[in-house]
Amino acid sequence: MKRRISVSLVIFLFPVITFACDICGCGVGNSYIGLLPDFNKTIMGFRYRFNSLRTHIGAGGAISYLTTDETYRTIEVWGGWNIGKKFRLMTSIPFNFNEKVNQGDVNRKKGLGDISVSGYYELFNKKQSVLTSKLLVQSLWIGGGFKLPTGEYTSADKSEDADNSNLFQLGTGSVDFTANLMYDIRLQDAGLNINSSYKLNSANKYDYRYGNKFSLSAQAYYKFRLAKKISIAPNVGTQYETANKDKDGASLSDGSGGRILLATTGVETVMGKIIIGGNYQLPLHQNLANGFVKAGDRFMLHVSFLF
């Protein structure tokens, strides 16, 4: 049976999963999940994400004794379930490993992150023949989800300096919500996938609210069929993310918010009921936290299983 390559935002990821690594990058985190295979019933898998940041950067990119290098690693256990022909439910359980280094001093955190759940509804899935013998397939999904405050948020780790970012947390400490839209168009084995997501954050019990976030990505892909049950799909595209400033009580945090544009490239390999893939993201342009934060390269690896 032929399987269509498409993007499924877990949403977490969300899409699922759009909640992934929301804290990293002043709310402009690594929510990108790459291209995943469509599935008939159930899919389960593991994802590994890596983000790097440099914080406390001075005016004009100056490095000082406060400048800190931070890395955020996440291992996610995630799954998706199709309910009938139109509904899809997805969830993600992240485990975070945070580290920051300043003048040789190393500070680490590890533990459960924020669990997220999302649902999708397929508005349409249209197939037609074009150019005499070419198959054109289009699909449009809408969805929404929520994130639970299962990851630890430590108020003591938040600096009183409004210029400092509040990134070094395992979770946001708040219940947050997303709205998602996914469109896929494919002509034979060549396709384009477009995803957009908006995340609405609430305030946690310490009256700290991370800024709302919008992301938009477009990925072009081509599926090469190597054997009856083996295919490989390289992909390339861009992702744009923007986030509002965080709000601490009635005050806005200058060490938050911003925007970033990234180039993305990856590959997805399907071998029967096993899918292995990954992607790499390179910042092309960014303005995070008024220049106080600079995001480094990102990457993600995953292995998934169809049932």
pLDDT at 3: 39
What are the per-10-residue average pLDDT scores of the chain (307 residues)? 36 35 45 59 93 86 88 94 92 94 94 94 92 90 95 84 77 94 93 94 95 94 92 94 93 90 94 93 93 91 93
pLDDT at 58: 81
pLDDT at 158: 80
pLDDT at 38: 65
pLDDT at 15: 35
Both tokens assigned to 265:
């490239």
Supply the CATH number for residue 47's domain: 2.40.128.130
Tally of domains in the chain = 1
Owning domain of residue 31? 5-306
Model's pTM, two decimal places? Answer: 0.87
